[in-house]
Structure formats: structure tokens, C-alpha cells
């Protein structure tokens, strides 16, 4: 928690929304910043680390099953469930005195190699407890006698927020409507493409369904033939 006796700005999150008109998936956090030192803040070079705090919410049975790959069996979650680093971002805050509001861009990814994306994808609804940890440099002045000053943001500046899962899903659907993607090694992708061509399959969806159906009924999906 923020120490009220420590000089420097204090932060709170007013809202987090999905941005519809961006080249890549992005959320925007609306921050309120209050500085009670009485000094004129010339600018703030602000850095932020965003963490997901998975212990701060409950999970239904479907979510527990979907999260096994991240945390193991639910009985072990007290030991395995830890805060997840979601992203790091930064911005420059324009000058103000007393308080101000500013937008902080939160660039996101749908890459399942990113732990935060896997976690969010597993949730059916509700809210995600997130915590924003702030650091950076405050430039003050000019004061009554002129001149500028520099001070660091105290190490304990942070703010919590309950991010609705629906906001994250809205953002993803804007950029990947009814689709998703996974990263593959080049050699694996080449084998996958070769399997598709040999079977005369029309799409990647059909290729995956073919592999899943053959493995689910106990029939091997000819893993060796892709190397021929």
C-alpha cells in the first residue's frame, strides 16, 4: 500500500477500456494522479508494471480445469498460484498542480506463450484482479524562485483494479474475431503444412480437426509420415 507520509504522487485507476481503433490489441487505463507536495509538476516520466493477482478471485469447475496447465491441481493452488507479470508499459504525464488524469496504454497479446493471455483465456467471466506498480521520475518547477527539481516516485506507489473479463474479450474480438493463434517452431509448421497437403485438406481448421479426431479415437495421426 502507498505510504501517506512519503512525498510524491499517489495513483488510482478510474477505468480500463478496450481501444477499438489500434493496429494491435490494446487496453487503456485512465489514471488519476494526486500530488500533495504543493509543487508544480512539470512532467512525470512514468513506468508501470501490471500484474495479475489470481488468488483474489474464485473459480468455477470449468475454469479450474482450464487452469490446470498453469497451476496444476486445484488442491495445490495455495502453493502454485502466484502473481503473474502481465506487461510493462510507460508514458509521459504532462504538467499539473495538485492532481490530473492521464491515459496509460496497455498493449496486449493473444499469444498463448504469454502466461497472462493463457490465464485470461481460461476465464469464463467475472473480473480479473490486477495491480499496477508505478515507478519513474517527477520533474518539478519552475517554482516561485525559478529553477527545476527532480525526484523519484516512491517504490510503494501502486493501484488495484478489478478488470472485467468481458473488456479483455471485447478487445481480443476486435482484432481476432472468432479466431486465435499459437506460435510454432518452423520445422513443426513445415511438417504440419506437409500433412495438410498430403491429405488434401482445405483449411488449417480442418487440418487440426482431422488430427484431433484421429488421436481421440485411438488412431495415430501418422506422425512419422510427415518426415518422409
pLDDT of residue 68: 93
Q: List, for residues 65-123, the tens digit of each pLDDT value.
A: 999 999 999 999 999 999 999 999 999 999 999 999 999 999 998 777 788 888 999 99
Whether the predicted pLDDT of 130 surpasses 60:
yes
What is the 3 state secondary structure string of the chain?
CCCCCCCCCEEEEEEEEECCCCCCCEEEEEEEEECCCCCEEEEEEEEEEEEECHHHCCCCHHHHHHCHHHHCCHHHHHHHCCCEEEEEEEEEEEEEECEEEEEEEEECCCCCCCHHHHHHHCCCCCEEEEEEEEEEEEEECCCCCCCCEEEECCCCCEEEEEEEHHHHHHHHHHHCCCCCCCCCCHHHHHHHHHHHHHHCCCCHHHHHHHHHHHHHCCCCCCCCHHHC
Mean pLDDT of all residues belonging to the chain: 87
pLDDT band at 218 (very low <50, low <70, confident <90, very high): low
Over residues 141-159, mean pLDDT: 84
pLDDT band at 6 (very low <50, low <70, confident <90, very high): low
Whether the predicted pLDDT of 225 surpasses 60:
no
Amino acid at each position: 500500500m502507498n505510504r501517506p507520509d512519503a512525498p510524491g504522487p499517489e495513483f488510482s485507476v478510474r477505468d480500463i477500456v478496450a481501444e477499438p481503433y489500434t493496429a494491435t490489441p490494446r487496453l487503456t487505463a485512465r489514471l488519476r494522479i494526486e500530488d500533495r507536495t504543493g509543487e508544480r509538476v512539470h512532467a512525470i516520466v512514468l513506468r508501470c508494471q501490471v500484474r495479475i493477482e489470481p488468488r483474489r478471485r474464485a473459480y468455477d469447475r470449468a475454469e479450474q480445469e482450464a487452469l490446470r496447465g498453469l497451476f496444476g491441481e486445484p488442491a495445490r493452488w495455495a502453493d502454485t498460484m502466484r502473481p503473474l507479470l502481465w506487461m510493462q508499459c510507460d508514458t509521459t504525464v504532462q504538467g499539473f498542480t495538485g492532481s490530473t488524469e492521464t491515459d496509460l496504454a496497455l498493449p496486449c497479446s493473444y499469444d498463448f506463450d504469454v502466461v497472462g493471455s493463457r490465464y485470461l483465456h481460461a476465464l469464463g467471466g467475472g473480473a480479473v484482479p490486477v495491480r499496477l506498480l508505478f515507478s519513474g521520475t517527477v520533474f518539478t518547477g519552475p517554482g516561485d524562485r525559478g529553477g527545476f527539481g527532480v525526484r523519484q516516485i516512491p517504490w510503494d506507489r501502486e493501484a488495484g483494479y478489478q478488470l472485467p473479463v468481458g473488456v479483455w474479450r471485447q478487445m481480443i474480438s476486435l482484432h481476432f474475431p472468432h479466431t486465435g493463434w499459437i506460435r510454432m517452431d518452423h520445422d513443426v509448421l513445415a511438417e504440419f503444412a506437409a500433412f495438410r497437403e498430403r491429405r488434401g485438406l482445405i483449411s488449417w481448421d480442418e487440418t487440426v480437426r482431422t488430427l484431433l479426431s484421429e488421436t481421440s479415437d485411438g488412431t495415430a495421426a501418422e506422425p512419422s509420415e510427415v518426415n518422409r
